[in-house]
Chains A and B, each alone.
Chain A
Amino acid sequence: MNTALSEFQSESVSESVSLSGLNFDVLPPEVQRFRDTARAFAQDVVKPRVQHLDQAPAAHFDWQLVAQGHQIGLTRAAVPKEYGGAGVGMLGVAVALEEVAAVCPGTALIFGATLLGQAPILLSGDPRLQSRFLPLFSGDEPVLACNAVTEEDAGCDLIIPSLAQHAQNVTTARRDGDHYVLTGRKRFITNAKFAAFASVFANMEGSPGATGLTSFIVPLDLPGVVRGPVADKMGYRACLGSELEFHDVRVPAEYMIGSEGEGMAINMAQSNMARAAVAGISTGVARSALEQAIAWCGERVQGGQHLRHHQFTAAKLAAMTTKVDAARMLYLRAADKVDNELPPPVYEPAVAKLFADRAAIDVADAALSLIGARGYLRSYGVEKMMRDALGTRIYEGTPEVLALAITDSLYAEKEEW
């Protein structure tokens, strides 16, 4: 294990201070150190590459960048310490991803998608699965994972239980002895091009729609797995989204998570976990746009005074900073909840992601407007933030999906403790 990671392991998560202590300025020490290291990685390693990563052909991927992120523990931030992970929980993941996303959200998503692929193994509580897959992330070489849910004809059908019966052409699984045989095709799968394994959701043959959705961990070197073409995206170009095909792939039965037909619940639990971290990514995008706008409005003189002294501009800056602060508070609360509750809560992560995604778009838009023609240039990077901000609201729950999750929570029976 590398020395950088061992620094985070000197204190246990259990010793950390919960946000319920209401000290919003102080993160648990190990989380703070992890965030600081992620910030240094973002500034020193990612920043010099950002423009190239954004403007290179769609299939370009920077393994060197991933290797350096792996060195500081970004591929195993949520993996328990006993398996060589950083063990900083979702709070550590979220604050680290804010730092990376403030420079390059595409790079942040490489690590975020890996966490998502690991999530079912973490939730499984199965020591055989955990000892088979989690130590992969503590070796010298970087390893990525991915989460394969979305398909050509099924998106929300696979994450909203009431829609499952309407799903069409869903990837199927059938039991064959001590294996399951998977057939189908997934689309828009971040990291699929290089991941060592995927968390795959397939419908049990004979179950209507996606009502038999089941969760599997599938090593992507199994015969019958084909990694498809990379999508040419508007933003998030540092990470690759591609297709993943399964042609009669024989998966050992012990790689199933939970039970047959329980995949929808497991997928939702994963999403609820991950949304806090994605809200951290959105907050990073918003913060970065705000910082550019602050710098510009503090130096640009029009009408004999700096832009920041013009009242309309001041109002915009105030609204932008308020949104960034609020987004951060919401994702910190959500991450803290996720670190202290099972099943992961629905409400707080959904609220955090819904707000932070919108904040990223609004703040990037306002920054572009304030910076004017220069903001529209590729060389200034603000137009990239605008493109990236539009991507964040799509994955891991669109505003429409989040709205349903939030509203359902409002009407759900409150659990007494």
Chain B
Amino acid sequence: MSTFSSGEMAAEVFGRLFSVLLEDEEFVARARQEGLSVRLVHTKPDCQVFVSPQGVVVGEEAAPQTAAITLKMSCDTAHALWMGRLMVPVAIATGRLRIRGKVAKVLELVPMLRPAFDRYPDIAAASGVGA
């Protein structure tokens, strides 16, 4: 059984997480400079989040179909990653996290996500998602 009871719940948590990232001026400046947009495709339950310097869009219909980087993973994998229980290289190497887009850009993106890792446990807990 998934950590998330519905796609709406997952979209709320992950949408909030990236909204937090967009409060980081350094992240936004860098994302703008790099032309960075990220599409997160989560499964089990399904939800999609589109992130660009302009903001966060949640939901399959609302989100643009093309992004510089697309990440695909299950909601449980995403939860484990953000909680720090699953390491990024392991998630990638084992195929639990799949990425399409310029790899060089992805590698630059990962260190920029540090604030999200720090904030995720609280965001998840606030939405009733267990550790």
Residues from chain B with Cβ under 8 Å of A122 in the complex: 107
Which residue of A has the minimal Cβ distance to B43?
A: A416
Inter-chain contacts of B87 with A (CB < 8 A): 258-259, 262
The contact of A342 among B34, B68, B103, by CB within 8 Å, is B103
A343 to B102, CA, bound (A): 12
Which single member of B72, B89, B94, B97 contacts A257 (CB below 8 Å)?
A: B89
Instruction: List the 7 closest pairs (A to B, CB-CB), nearest first.
Output: A125-B110, A127-B111, A265-B93, A258-B90, A342-B99, A125-B88, A269-B93
Name B residues whose Cβ lies closer than 8 Å to a Cβ of A.
Answer: 34-35, 41, 68, 70, 72, 86-90, 92-95, 97-108, 110-111, 114
User: How far, in Å, is B45 (CB) from chain A's closest CB?
Assistant: 16
Interface residues, chain A, with chain B CB atoms under 8 Å away: 13-14, 80, 82, 87, 89, 120, 122-127, 130, 257-259, 262, 265-266, 268-269, 338-343, 415, 417
- Which residue in B72, B92, B101, B114 is a CB contact (below 8 Å) of A123? B92
Q: Within the complex, what minimum Cβ distance (angstroms) separates B69 from chain A?
A: 10
Q: Report the minimal beta-carbon distance from A337 to chain B, rounded to whole angstroms.
A: 10
Q: How far apart are the CA atoms of A417 and B65 in the complex, in Å?
A: 11
**B89 close to A340 (CB less than 8 A):** no
Residues A124 and B88 in contact in the complex (CB < 8 Å), given A266-B93, A268-B93: yes
Give the nearest-CB partner of A16 in chain B. B102
B94 contacts A262, C-beta separation under 8 Å: yes
Given contacts A342-B99, A343-B92, contact A14 B70 (CB under 8 A): no
The 8 Å CB contact of B107, one of A125, A257, A266, is A125
B101: A residues at CB distance < 8 A:
340
- Report the minimal beta-carbon distance from B113 to chain A, rounded to whole angstroms: 9
Q: Which residues of B contact A340 (CB under 8 A)?
A: 100-103
Q: How far is the CA of A123 from the CA of B98 in the complex (A)?
A: 13
- Do A266 and B111 touch across chains, with their CB atoms under 8 A apart? no
Known: A125-B110, A125-B111, A339-B103; 12 extra A-B contacts, CB below 8 A, are A120-B89, A122-B107, A123-B89, A123-B92, A126-B88, A265-B93, A269-B92, A340-B100, A342-B98, A343-B92, A343-B94, A417-B41
User: Bound state CA distance, A415 and B41, in angstroms?
Assistant: 13
Residues of A within 8 A of B70 (CB): 417
In the complex, what distance in Å separates the CA atom of A262 from the CA atom of B88?
A: 12
* Chain B residue contacts of A265, Cβ below 8 A: 90, 93-94
Contacts of A125 in B (CB 8 A): 88-89, 92, 107, 110-111
Q: Which residues of B contact A415 (CB under 8 A)?
A: 72, 98
Contacting residues, chain A, for B98 (C-beta < 8 A): 341-343, 415
Chain A CB count within 10 A is highest, among B102, B103, B106, for B103
| 5 CB-based A-B contacts, threshold 8 Å | A262-B94, A266-B90, A341-B103, A343-B92, A343-B98
A87 to B87, alpha carbons, bound, how many Å?
A: 24
Q: How far is the CB of A165 from chain B (nearest CB, A)?
A: 18
Q: In the docked arrangement, what's the CA distance between A342 and B103, Å?
A: 7
Q: Which residues of A contact B108 (CB under 8 A)?
A: 80, 82
What is the bound-complex CA distance between A130 and B107, given in angstroms?
Answer: 10
Residues of chain A lying within 8 A (CB to CB) of residue B102: 13-14, 89, 339-340
**Bound CA–CA A268/B34 (angstroms):** 30
Query: What residues on A are CB-neighbors of B99 within 8 Å?
Result: 341-342
**Residues in chain A near residue B92, CB distance under 8 A:** 123, 125, 269, 342-343
Q: A89–B103 contact, CB under 8 A?
A: yes
A46 to B97, CA, bound (A): 41
Give Cα A113–Cα B41 distance, bound, in whole angstroms.
Answer: 35
A415→B104 CA distance, assembly (Å):
22
Shortest CB distance B43–A (Å)? 10
**Chain B residues within 8 Å of A87, by CB:** 104
What's the minimum C-beta distance from A182 to chain B, rounded to whole angstroms?
19
A120-B89, A342-B98, A417-B70 as given contacts; A80 in contact with B107, CB under 8 Å: yes
Q: A14-B35, A130-B111 are in contact. Are A343 and B93 (CB under 8 A)?
A: yes
Q: Whole-angstrom distance between the alpha carbons of A338 and B106 in the complex?
A: 12
B114 cross-chain contacts in A, Cβ below 8 A: 127
Which residue of chain B has the shortest Cβ distance to A127 in the bound complex?
B111
B110 and A338: CB pair below 8 A?
A: no
Chain A residue nearest to B70 (CB atoms) is A417
Is the Cβ of A417 less than 8 Å from the Cβ of B100?
yes
Measured in the bound complex, the distance between the Cα atoms of B72 and A122 in whole Å is 20
Q: How far is the CA of A262 from the CA of B89 in the complex (A)?
A: 9
Q: Which residues of B contact A82 (CB under 8 A)?
A: 108
Instruction: List the A side residues contacting B103 at CB < 8 Å.
Output: 89, 338-342
Contacts of A14 on B, CB cut-off 8 Å? 34-35, 68, 102, 104-105
